[in-house]
Amino acid sequence: MADAEYQDFSNGSRRKLALVIGNSNYALERSLPNTINDAKQMTIVLRSLGFSIHDDEPKLDLTYREFFMTLMSFVCSINQNDLVLFYFSGHGTQWENENYLIPVDNFKEENKQRVELDGTDLKRHAINAQQFLNNIDDRNPFAIVFFLDCCRTYYLKQERLLKSLKSCSLDQLHGLKSMPPKIGSLIAFACAPGTTADDGNNREKNGLFTKHLLKHLSTTKEDVLGILMNVTEGVIQESKKQQIPHVTFVLTEKIFLCNQNQSNGYFIARIRFNKWTQDGVTIAGGNGRGETLNQLNRPHGVCIDKNNDTLIADWGNDRIMKWKPNGKQGEICIDRIGNLADQLTWPRDVIVDEQNGSLIIGDWGNRRVIQWWNHDLYEVLVDNISCSRLTMDKYGFLYISDWEKHEVRRWKMGERQGKLVAGGHGQENRLNQFDCPTFIFVDDEQSVYVSDRDNHRVMKWRKGAREGAVIAGGKGGGSHLSQLNSPQGIFVDKFGQTYVADTGNHRIMCWREGTLQGEIIVGGKGIGNRSNQLNSPIDLSFDDDGNLYVADLGNDRVQKFSLI
């Protein structure tokens, strides 16, 4: 996501400074696939929390000289009573009880050739993390927070390393060592001393520690220790206990990275999400209601596949359509299953199962859910169900919202009995109930987010919870920024921000968990068919570049709003 505009409405807030560095493209060591993205996204989150970012941008791929000069400049900018935060993602290692952060020019010159560093070279070619902490402490800040996601496997020159094996244990040769904190400081490591961290993968786009840090960092009711407890729990669970974050601290009071309103404990701030073009471009339909290949009839669901093709549940035409980027018309992907007599009827949703190369369709009129590869290869996964909407989690479990039973169930592929994960206690507005649940989203912790349409709210059910929490709306149907009107499509990003198709208000909203109202990101300019208007938007989706796609039901089209 792009940078947000921050407005602080709290009183007596101190200055908050942050330095963010991400090193990826190392000269003599494997490149790290996610550190640049880690640093960029960390900058976005910290800026949204009111931090001033040093030099107004993340520092990327720094050489030793650039690294050293950046640290000097940052230290000189610190004033007494500042809240100071340092984030580094890259290679790091320990030598002789000191931790070193590695610049991208990790070599020395010998006989006009680049030679890898040994331990004794680190004092002249790498950054001593403890010394940097000491230099910050000399400026008498209010508090210091270090986030070090740099415990990847890093190899020093083998000849010197082998000589040290007789006097070193294994945990002295890998990762970082614990660092003694200063009074009023906290140091969070991606993993325990002497171990190495998971850098994630190209699909995830973040290292494991930073992935969970980004998710929890803007938690409004937690101090930094509470945030790190949640991060630790997430990392341990996802790594199956292979990676355990490590925290050292000497704090005399709670440190909140968000500004706090002391009267109610909530973060009082407004994040303005002016990030998408306000004039949408029609990428499917928009040629009136009809059944020709350049038309749609009340599209109910939209998703973007890995090729940036747009898949649409064309509800009124009983078909699934595929539109390629810049296509003038679509192609019928599915309108029947097997023989001609077995037609789709009012399909409400379609998702892509990339792992199995199939589509999964909520065939609402036929009361079934279908997995489809081609006209001759398909399977009815669930039958006799009023499937409102569906989604999958990263583990391959299928989630289905049931319009009639007012519940959401999780299904293991191939099994006929689903497990109740939300609702199922009748049609009402208590926290364990729904009134016509529609769209659903599942995050990496298997928390389930549900658009509770006729209760005009979005609910979050943590895994195993007996009731949900209202994270958007819930104040009756209306058009105020604290209200929703028949919400439907939803998406939750890794920062915990919930995007909602506010159907009855003809707008797309974004809500930060814990805030009392949302922000309009597109639409909201009255019902209509102009490029900056929507008419009963029912679903939304994002591509890998952050562009927003909206199924504009009343206008029989899909609109694309580009990320600015």
What's the pLDDT at 331? Answer: 94
Q: Which residue has the higher pLDDT, 337 or 275?
A: 275
Burial of residue 3 (CB within 10 Å: 0-12, 13-18, 19+) is: middle
- Interval 500-544: pLDDT, tens: 999 999 999 999 766 788 999 999 999 999 999 999 999 999 988
What's the pLDDT at 29? Answer: 67
Q: How confident is the model at residue 408 (pLDDT cuts 50, 70, 90)?
A: very high
Name residue 419's beta-bridge partners.
410
- Interval 186-229: pLDDT, tens: 999 998 886 766 665 545 678 899 999 998 886 656 889 999 99
Contact 45, 214 (CB under 8 A): yes
What's the pLDDT at 106? Answer: 75
What's the pLDDT at 455? Answer: 97
What's the pLDDT at 180? Answer: 85
Helix%, strand%, coil% for the chain, nearest 5: 15, 35, 45
Q: Which residue has the higher pLDDT, 500 or 182?
A: 500
Contact 285, 230 (CB under 8 A): no
- pLDDT above 80: residue 376: no
- CA quadruple 530, 536, 541, 547: dihedral, nearest 10: 20
What are 298's two structure tokens? 């009340």
- pLDDT above 70: residue 369: yes
Contact 79, 139 (CB under 8 A): yes
Q: What is the DSSP pairing of strand 59-60 with strand 16-22?
A: parallel
Strand ranges for 464-535 from DSSP E: 469-473, 487-492, 497-502, 507-512, 519-523
What's the pLDDT at 292? Answer: 96
- In percent, how much of the chain has pLDDT > 70? 84
What's the pLDDT at 458? Answer: 97
Q: 281-561 is classed in which CATH architecture?
A: 6 Propeller (2.120)
Q: Which residue has the higher pLDDT, 559 or 269?
A: 559
Q: How confident is the model at residue 7 (pLDDT cuts 50, 70, 90)?
A: very low
| Domain boundaries 16-110+117-156+177-250, corresponding CATH code | 3.40.50.1460
What's the pLDDT at 13? Answer: 57
CA distances from 267 to 131, 226, 264, 431, 537 (A): 34, 15, 9, 23, 30
What does pLDDT average to over the chain? Answer: 85
* Phi, psi at 414, each rounded to 5°: 95, -15
- Interval 324-356: pLDDT, tens: 999 999 999 888 765 555 789 999 999 998 888
Mean pLDDT of 272-282: 80
Rounded to whole angstroms, the Cα distance separating 363 from 377 reads 16
What are 406's two structure tokens? 């007012």
What's the pLDDT at 270? Answer: 33
What's the pLDDT at 332? Answer: 92
CA distances from 354 to 43, 351, 538, 554 (A): 31, 9, 24, 30
Best mean pLDDT range from 90-94, 330-334, 481-485: 481-485
Q: Give CB contacts under 8 A, 24+ apart, made by 40-44.
A: 41/206, 41/210, 41/214, 41/494, 42/87, 42/89, 42/147, 42/210, 42/213, 42/214, 43/3, 43/18, 44/1, 44/2, 44/3, 44/4, 44/495
pTM above 0.85, yes or no: no
Q: How confident is the model at residue 432 (pLDDT cuts 50, 70, 90)?
A: very high
Q: How confident is the model at residue 110 (pLDDT cuts 50, 70, 90)?
A: low
The domain spans of the chain are 16-110+117-156+177-250, 281-561
- pLDDT above 50: residue 241: yes
- pLDDT above 90: residue 313: yes
Q: Which of 275-289, 414-428, 549-563 has the lowest mean pLDDT?
A: 414-428
Q: How confident is the model at residue 421 (pLDDT cuts 50, 70, 90)?
A: very high
What's the pLDDT at 166? Answer: 44
Three-state DSSP class for 439? strand
- In percent, how much of the chain has pLDDT > 90? 59
Three-state DSSP class for 212? helix
